[in-house]
Amino acid sequence: MTSLDAATDPQRAVLLGVGNILLTDEGVGVEAVTRFAATHDLPSGLSVLDGGTSAMEMLDDLEDLDLLVVVDCVRVGKPPASVVVLQDDEVPAFFRTRLSPHQVGLSDVFATMLLTGRAPRRIVIVGVQPVEVSTAMGLTAEIEAVMPQVIDAVRRALAEGGYPTQPRKVVAGAH
């Protein structure tokens, strides 16, 4: 890519939620990005993806991004329901230790993008330490209680990356 191409390429960012909604708190990433998209006006160039538990299928969607914000359930040795944000130099360390059940797939995707020179310019991970991972739909009460923190961490990560969002105005009586 020449510098001329870089100047004319549209800016692109992805908010990616990963997780399995059939395993209680394991679905926090998918639930967080779904709620975020439903409650915020999104700027041009920002896409929201429900990655579920897939990874390599998303390769085309994640290549050559300016910003990738990933929301996932992570095991980082913090108390249950802790919210963590990893960025810049902290992100490679995220992939050296298995913190999430999807991490192997995401690690493969990022390795492929690095090898092809198409990795996102900036990656931020918003992680939530699970309280429970068992076969059931719905988040635990403790994770529900920290969802405002998760949503705020996503909002800050997007704004710091050049993609400010605004909460939608709720109109009384609107359907």
Domain spans in the chain, listed from the N-terminal domain onward: 3-159
Q: Which CATH number describes the domain made up of 3-159?
A: 3.40.50.1450
Residue-level pLDDT at 112: 80
24-33, 59-68, 94-103, 138-147, range with the lowest pLDDT? 94-103
The crossing angle, in degrees rounded to 10, of helices 28-39 and 141-160 is 60
Q: Is 5's pLDDT higher than 80? A: no
Share of the chain above pLDDT 90, in %: 53
Residue 113: how many other CB atoms lie within 10 Å:
18
- Judged by phi (left if over 0) then psi (alpha if -120 to 50, else beta), residue 162 lies in left
Q: What is the mean pLDDT of residues 37-57?
A: 87
Residue-level pLDDT at 62: 87
Residue 160: which pLDDT band, with cuts at 50, 70 and 90?
very high
Cβ contact 55:125 at 8 Å? no
| Residues contacting residue 80 through CB under 8 Å, at least 6 positions apart | 129, 130, 131, 142
Q: In which residue are the tokens 């944000």 written? A: 85
| Residues contacting residue 64 through CB under 8 Å, at least 6 positions apart | 12, 118, 120
The DSSP 8-state label assigned to residue 116 in this structure reads T
Q: What is the mean pLDDT of residues 52-69?
A: 83
Q: Is 129's pLDDT higher than 90? A: yes
| 3 state SS for 20-75 | CCCEHHHHHHHHHHHHHHHHEECCCCEEEEEEECCCHHHHHHHCCCCEEEEEEECC
